[in-house]
Amino acid sequence: MESIFRIREYKVLFYRLLLVYLFYFIARVLFLIYNYSLLGVETTYEFFRLYYYGLAFDTTAILYVNSLFILLSLLPLKFSKTATYQRFLFYVYFISNLIAYSLNFVDFIYYKYNFSRTTISVINVLKDENHITGMLLRFLITYWHVLFLFILVSFFWIYLYKKYNVKRESLVIKPTYYYATSVLMIVLITVLSIGGIRGGDFKESTRPINLVDANRHVTQIKQADFVLNTPFAFIRTLFKNTFKKANYKVSKDEINHLIQPIKQYDVNPKSKPNIIVIIIESFDREYSGAFNKDMNIKDFVSYTPFIDSLANHSLIYPNAFANGYKSIHGMSSVLAGIPSFKDAFTSSPFSKQEIESIVSILNDIDYDTSFFHGAANGSMGFLGFGNILGFDHYYGRTEYGNDDDFDGTWGIWDEKFLEFTKRVLDKKKEPFFSTIFTVSSHEPYKIPKEYEGKFPSENNQMHQCIGYTDFSFKKFFEASKEEDWFDNTIFVITGDHGNITTYEVYNETVNRTAIPILFYKPDNSLKGVNKELAQQIDIYPTLVDLIGYDQPFRSWGRSLLNDTIIEPFTINYSASGYVLQQNDYICYFDGEKATGFYDIGDKNLENNLIDQSNEKMDSLELVTKTFVADYFDRIINKKLGNPNK
């Protein structure tokens, strides 16, 4: 009977699929262990409650990955029970499953930097690197324990797989029953699989579950990444274009009133100072004492003594945030005022268009514009995007021309590359605009051997890297003070994105993008502490305002100096949704509607006030909708250029 109706084969198939569920459960447990402080899953009840909802996402990923294996297991082939065919199924099963499964292990580490499950967008980042093999090898060596766990779990999985097999029996006596029941099972399992892939819903009117659906049953937004699994996130973003027009009912008047994408300032007199924008790799606000004076953090330690001293003579914004999570996000946000949400704008099909930016405006008024980055030319996509923005010059590892100062991973040590940068600037004709993007404060957190032990680390190697970069800038500024160009220069210092933190307050969902913003001018004309909300996309319009540029220009940010029309706000993308701060509240917007409102001080998004709806909340939802609608409209319709053209 078992042979005629293939009962044993179906039992084995279901056993093998149950094994996949078991090991996805194990991966979720390990993911929680590695990222416990970031996920907000603190009780056994909460773990299993969220795991229950996570099963829908596991099912989708498992069925996608195992679709070929399931089909091959169901086909009514006369030789399906032979050792050769079963060995073939073994390889199909483990090649497909272990490749997908390994993505979960990548996020044991990568999640600390990205604060989201890895998606296909990581390919767009890696494609600009010319040393991918070396990066992968270094990752495996540095995080050998993750590789060891993956190998250990894989061998255990293989062991369990072999414990229950198809019996090698003689040919079926009644082929009519054999084939008829096989076809019925194929149809039944196909239908069930379609429902499973959609998330357990067979309604045509309901879309398949996506990343944003992980937020439906969480009590804290950051728990969504525990509900998800990385294979699901990766598969769901394959061949997906997230740059689509938002079909919200917002008018042009609302757009112009609430975010004013075309701005014009005429407060400051026209001037042509040199401008140097310094973007420090992974410069989390937590690392600098000048930006934490009001945080009341017990036993706080600052790792940036030079920047702290410079802040005393600068205009600083200790309540500032990044508009993305990757370096290329920081470049487009700071220089062009274009944030990145679910995916990077620079990796989208729409990045190759005319883009008005601080670079293009300064080019038009005869500035010499340049970009400095000590990594291999083209790394992180900076060279390509720099060409789109229109930089006159790009200075990278190639132009530096001495690999004796290569750090072995990313690029030229900051101290050495800043010395090179100064030598180049000394020869520039004024006025000039330069962007300096550092490399040394980055995983694997190394500094030159001669400085080992010089900078405090507090059990976090990132701290010594920040200390080294801060020291490098101290030398750069001290040397530059002797040059004629220095006194006529506006300096901006900020971070590209946040990084691994020590203090609990900076692990809170919104504060993960907390960065410093500093404006310094040697004549002390820019000085003070402004505690209003600020963000990376505000830097570009602020510089436009500072030089007295009086023509209309495109900007989603606001001048931090004179803009009295747009209320201070910040926006970024977190836990599969838009997070906008303004006035008294934080709005969480899932792409269709606001699903959460939180007090402006509730940076961990724990106490949802949506049931206490009021006019301010309604207004905040409209601001978010308006921003998102105009963002995608301008990008897709290629309206990022000069509004006067």
pLDDT in tens, 291-342: 999 999 999 999 999 999 999 999 999 999 999 988 989 999 999 999 999 8
CATH code for residues 252-636: 3.40.720.10
pLDDT at 317: 98
Instruction: Output 190 or 624, whichever has higher pLDDT.
Output: 624
* pLDDT tens digits, one per residue of 505-550: 999 999 999 999 999 999 999 999 999 999 999 999 999 999 999 9
**One-letter amino acid for residue 589 of the chain:** F
Answer yes or no: is pLDDT of 154 > 90.
yes
> Average pLDDT of 436-451?
94
List C-alpha distances in Å: 321 to 45, 535, 570, 632. 34, 5, 7, 21
Show me where the domains of the chain are located: 2-236, 252-636
- pLDDT band at residue 361 under the 50/70/90 scheme: very high
Residue 132 has pLDDT above 80, yes or no: no
DSSP H or E segment with residue 360: helix 358-364
How many whole angstroms separate alpha carbon 607 and alpha carbon 584? 14
Q: pLDDT confidence of 204, banded at 50, 70, 90?
A: very low
First and final CA of the chain: distance in angstroms? 79
3-state DSSP call for residue 60?
helix
Higher pLDDT pick, 420 / 214:
420
- The pLDDT > 70 percentage for the chain reads 94
Kindly tell me if the per-residue pLDDT of 205 is higher than 50.
no
Percent of the chain with pLDDT over 90: 69
Q: What is the pTM of this model?
A: 0.84
pLDDT at 392: 97
Q: Is the pLDDT of residue 629 over 50?
A: yes
Helix locations, 532-614, DSSP H:
539-546
Average pLDDT for 60-73: 93
Q: What is the pLDDT of residue 128?
A: 59
pLDDT at 124: 61
Q: Give the pair of three-digit tokens for residue 295.
A: 């945080």
Measured CA to CA, the distance from residue 586 to residue 568 in angstroms comes to 12
Task: Lowest mean pLDDT of 25-34, 196-205, 533-542, name the range.
Answer: 196-205
- The better pLDDT of the pair 636, 169 is held by 636
* 168: pLDDT strictly greater than 70: no
Digit-coded pLDDT (tens) for 602-615: 999 999 999 998 99
pLDDT at residue number 218: 84
